[in-house]
Amino acid sequence: MVERAATQGSMSVEDYLEMEKTATVRHEYVAGEVYAMDGVSRRHSRIAGNIFRMLAVAAAGGPCRVHQSDMKLQVDDVFYYPDVMVVYEDEPDDPYYEDSPCRVVEVVSQSTESTESTESTDRREKLAAYKLAAYKLAAYKRVPGLKGYLIVDQDRMCVERHFRDEEGAWRRGDLVDEGRFSVPCPEMSLTLAEIYEGQ
């Protein structure tokens, strides 16, 4: 979850990047607006960690770089912190962000701030999390070399896959409860059982 940070007017990219170097809380940046990021649950961290570990092992010794949550991704005038990101390109000049990933993963988590525990509140928070992930998808689709984007549900075994086909068109395929799917960049396959191991 993200929350708009209190800032005076629109912030420049340069000022945002300088602020993030010393910030104690991470912020995402969308066209001049700055949004503080909440912490994540242990379950969120374990799922993202499982995915990172498997991708990092598959990428070891090759040209891919794999990042987990602390590396920014720039898309035009937007900076996000994906949960996991794989890059297969030359490094950009700035050491604090990447700009050409081939794979992005977001683990969708609910807000932990609400004291309500009703089913309708849970649905509303989950819908908001998925809307944010979908909004990010629109930005990620503008990255020319991006081959795939995974939206991983924190609370149930469900992965929403968005990927480019051989003609470059975006497709979607979901897995629920079980299944295996191939991942380009690095070339490998993942199963839901591996992603949710330890949950």
Q: Is residue 185 part of a domain?
A: yes
Question: HSE on the CB side for 40, CA within 13 Å?
Answer: 21
Domain that includes residue 48, residue range: 40-195
Q: Is residue 23 part of a domain?
A: no
One pLDDT digit (tens) per residue for the chain, 199 residues: 455 554 556 899 999 999 999 999 999 999 899 999 888 889 999 999 999 999 999 999 888 999 999 999 999 889 999 999 999 877 878 899 999 999 999 998 754 444 444 445 445 555 566 667 777 888 888 898 899 999 999 999 999 999 998 888 999 999 998 888 888 888 899 999 999 998 7
Q: Is residue 7 part of a domain?
A: no
Q: Is residue 140 part of a domain?
A: yes
Q: Is residue 28 part of a domain?
A: no
- Which tokens sit at 176? 């629920």
Q: Is residue 133 part of a domain?
A: yes
Q: Is residue 61 part of a domain?
A: yes
Task: Record the pTM.
Answer: 0.84
- Tally of domains in the chain: 1
CATH code assigned at 189: 3.90.1570.10
Q: Is residue 134 part of a domain?
A: yes
